[in-house]
Structure 1
């Protein structure tokens, strides 16, 4: 029997206030064109400042969150911190997804795990990107880690901008309308895809299609990429009106990039 309702689990940094707004907004948009319905359930990891030290400590707490969410028998889990994964070493999204999925299985409630880092990589694969331009809110050293991580996955990062916002609540307060001008300032001439927000805390949803129309090429964010992979992990068509090319329906049935389909990096 086909399911009509799903529970979405979210592993969220304690100072993140955007994942629980943009991801539900994307699924609510899907509800306007598809019959399935969704509820959202979060568990939080402590983090205030976006530093490598706090990110590493936070990530160590992710297994507790996965266990708590599996107690609620969620159907899929999303890990809502791209830079925490990417700062832990090349290919770590594969290890994190495997580790957290194993926690749910050990708890008797096996569920797929989507990291925002892995979802961004998957989105670039789905869109056939070779070269990208990128905007991130992080300080320059962390932004460089993100750029290096993405390039290790086989994509060339051309121009990129680090907004250098150290406090995570300040990242959430960044006006997404400002991203339109910042994106125009990027050298995106050779980019196949523009990443408007390489961070699920920095809001960008309301500007995705504006920038896409302005630049004339696909524009994604960590949140849009995560929603796409969450939907595919549930074996549902990945579509959400108003969220740009990736969720337009053109890529609704692309294969879910599970951990088994990635090449694990040492």
Structure 2
């Protein structure tokens, strides 16, 4: 009996034959974060994920995620990924530059697996693209946004402007369309065009599919959290395949 369902044949080679990337995903992620990582995967790369306890986007909640991230890393290590990435960018900004470095080191010390994190991945991506003066589009409240700006200033960047939604509830952020975010980023660019690049924080934003369009319309590199984390993980595991359609960061040789 015929059905309308299309069946995909399984690949003859094992999953993750090039690399296995382990991600520590905030529990409040409603699907965009893990989905976008899989969209960005080159052939032969597989994503393994563990949830890390996290609720609202408040300083208290983001700080609590640190200890659970260490436990999550130990769980991920059982599946033997080639790299473990703590992708919660805002949580990294709250820890600060040195606090984030300490967490990455502790993940490695506990698991013996190389580690990356959201803040450092974005930092390396911005430097790779030659960005020194930047603007930021973020979901967070004023206090966390100030900590995010301070994080990048401590890394040597000049933050020229920042647009914040002032949200603490992930559900509200998830309801926004990619094109609403596109419009907000374009307003930010028109207000402050004298930058080398634009950073869009938050894997909770559904904005990945607009990055290429934003780069064409602004003439600037646009670094988005999920793309930066994937770029850094692929760099660490030595996968050179370009990923097209989601901005110049993933298309360039790494």
Same fold (TM over 0.5): yes
Cα shift at 1:91? 3.1
Alignment correspondent of 1:143: 145
Alignment correspondent of 1:180: 182
Alpha-carbon distance between aligned partners in 2 of 1:180 and 1:202, rounded to the nearest angstrom:
11
Cα shift at 1:205? 0.6
Unaligned runs of 5+ in 2: 1-15
Alpha-carbon distance between aligned partners in 2 of 1:64 and 1:76, rounded to the nearest angstrom:
16
1:90-117 deviation line (CA, Å, top 9, x unaligned): 3332212111111112xxxxx2111111
1:108-135 deviation line (CA, Å, top 9, x unaligned): xxx2111111100111111111100110
The equivalent position to 1:190 in structure 2, one of 194, 206, 213, is: 194
Could you tell which deviates more after superposition, 122-131 or 162-171? 162-171
Alignment of 1:71-90 (within 5 A): 71-90=78-97
Alignment correspondent of 2:107: 100
Alignment correspondent of 2:17: 4
Alignment correspondent of 2:220: 217
Alpha-carbon distance between aligned partners in 2 of 1:69 and 1:115, rounded to the nearest angstrom:
15
Q: Which SS does the other structure have where 1:50 is aligned?
A: coil
Alpha-carbon distance between aligned partners in 2 of 1:173 and 1:77, rounded to the nearest angstrom:
29
> Does the 8 Å contact 1:132/1:188 carry over to 2?
no
Alignment correspondent of 1:40: 47
1:154-173 deviation line (CA, Å, top 9, x unaligned): 00011110011211233233
Alpha-carbon distance between aligned partners in 2 of 1:248 and 1:10, rounded to the nearest angstrom:
22
Alpha-carbon distance between aligned partners in 2 of 1:181 and 1:137, rounded to the nearest angstrom:
14
Alpha-carbon distance between aligned partners in 1 of 2:159 and 2:168, rounded to the nearest angstrom:
22
| TM-score, normalised by the number of residues in structure 1 | 0.85
Alignment correspondent of 1:20: 34
Unaligned runs of 5+ in 1: 32-36, 106-110, 254-266
Cα shift at 1:238? 5.6
> Does the 8 Å contact 1:12/1:42 carry over to 2?
yes
Q: Which one has the largest radius of gyration?
A: 2
The equivalent position to 1:128 in structure 2, one of 127, 130, 135, is: 130
> Does the 8 Å contact 1:6/1:38 carry over to 2?
yes
Q: Which SS does the other structure have where 2:125 is aligned?
A: helix
| TM-score, normalised by the number of residues in structure 2 | 0.88
Alignment correspondent of 1:203: 206
Aligned residue pair count? 236
> Does the 8 Å contact 1:133/1:160 carry over to 2?
yes
> Does the 8 Å contact 1:45/1:62 carry over to 2?
yes
Alpha-carbon distance between aligned partners in 1 of 2:46 and 2:132, rounded to the nearest angstrom:
35
Alignment correspondent of 2:246: 243
1:50-85 deviation line (CA, Å, top 9, x unaligned): 110011111121110010000111111111210111
